[in-house]
Amino acid sequence: MAKKELNYTQIPNIILDDTHLNVYEFRIIMHIARQTIGYGKKSDGISLSQFHKATGISVAKVHATITILKEKKHIKVTQQTAKHGGKSYNRYSLTLIHSMDNHIHTMDNPIPQHGEPLIHDMDIQKKIEQKKIDKREEREYPSNNIYFFIFGNELKKEVHSFVNELSMNANNESAYKAKLRKQLEKKHPETLVAFEEWYLNSKCEKLVRKYKGKEYLGNPIVSIHNYLQTEGFRDTDKFIIQTKDSKGVNRTECFSTFDDIESELSYTVGE
């Protein structure tokens, strides 16, 4: 039987030798390298959930790590718009490769002589159109995000905890906190997704510590999780209680808000 040939991705030594990268930063960079260098591409469109599946890092932590890598200028992130509608993901590239490409592009395209146009009119038009697209994308956000179902002082408290936790490893902690708050206020899609995952996970952990193993509707509670941690649930079913009956059959109950599930458990299970 012929021996199957293994495939490889050539990783620049400057990445492998960088001792200042923490484990999260290294995993994110390696995944970008796999998706770009590994396929002979300069950049690749990658969603936060794809980063999560490939690295095992939570979406919230992925978002925070990408921001730090951008600040360190290790990676470049550009917006990408789907040609025929559908989902649009940011494009990621390694700064090293991007810098090398610029150098090669400069050699292949020397500075124009006197009297020649620096850029074509078509290039200007493309930039104008792209700016319009970028502004439109900034206005698009997931309307079912939990951020829009928390109000007043509770929202302020949760946002405060969220930005504090995500900014702990940032180079400039206060600046990053301000940036996160601004992104939430502007309804930045990826920041909203990160906030929702952080919020749902923290609330579920609190409920699990309090109610796991106790009886709910006659059956013991096996787990309390959110719709991001499983498949087959709508994005309006934020919280899921899973119990198991005497025959070993799993049963679930879904709730839209933390207040709903907390009130239900408090009333049926008790403190």
3-state SS assignment for residue 44: strand
Q: Which two tokens stand for residue 146?
A: 């939990």
Computed over every residue of the chain, the mean pLDDT equals 79
φ, ψ for residue 216, nearest 5 deg: -130, 120
For residue 54, what are the contacts with CB-CB under 8 A and spacing of at least 6? 31, 34
Query: For 252-271, what is each residue's pLDDT tens digit?
Result: 999 888 988 999 999 888 76
What global pTM score does this model have?
0.53
Q: Which residue would you say has higher pLDDT here, 95 or 133?
A: 95
| Measured distance CA(271)–CA(268) in Å, rounded | 9
Q: Which two tokens stand for residue 89?
A: 């993901």
Query: For 177-201, what is each residue's pLDDT tens digit?
Result: 999 999 899 888 888 888 998 999 9
Query: For 37-67, what is each residue's pLDDT tens digit?
Result: 888 888 888 888 888 888 888 887 888 888 8
| Centroid of chain to Cα 142 | 13
Whole-number pLDDT of residue 180: 92
Instruction: Determine the Cα angle at 269 with ends 266 and 271, to 5°.
Output: 55
pLDDT at 168 over 90: no
Whole-number pLDDT of residue 178: 92
What angle, 0 to 180 degrees and rounded to 10, lies between the N-to-C axes of helices 48-55 and 189-211?
Answer: 50
Whole-number pLDDT of residue 261: 92
Whole-number pLDDT of residue 88: 55
| Measured distance CA(21)–CA(12) in Å, rounded | 15
| Measured distance CA(79)–CA(89) in Å, rounded | 7
Of 111, 104, 110, 93, nearest to 41 by C-alpha is 93
pLDDT at 133 over 50: no
3-state SS assignment for residue 110: coil
Q: Which residue would you say has higher pLDDT here, 139 or 219?
A: 219
| Measured distance CA(158)–CA(173) in Å, rounded | 18
| Measured distance CA(212)–CA(61) in Å, rounded | 26
The radius of gyration of the chain's CA atoms, rounded to the nearest angstrom, is 23
pLDDT at 231 over 90: no
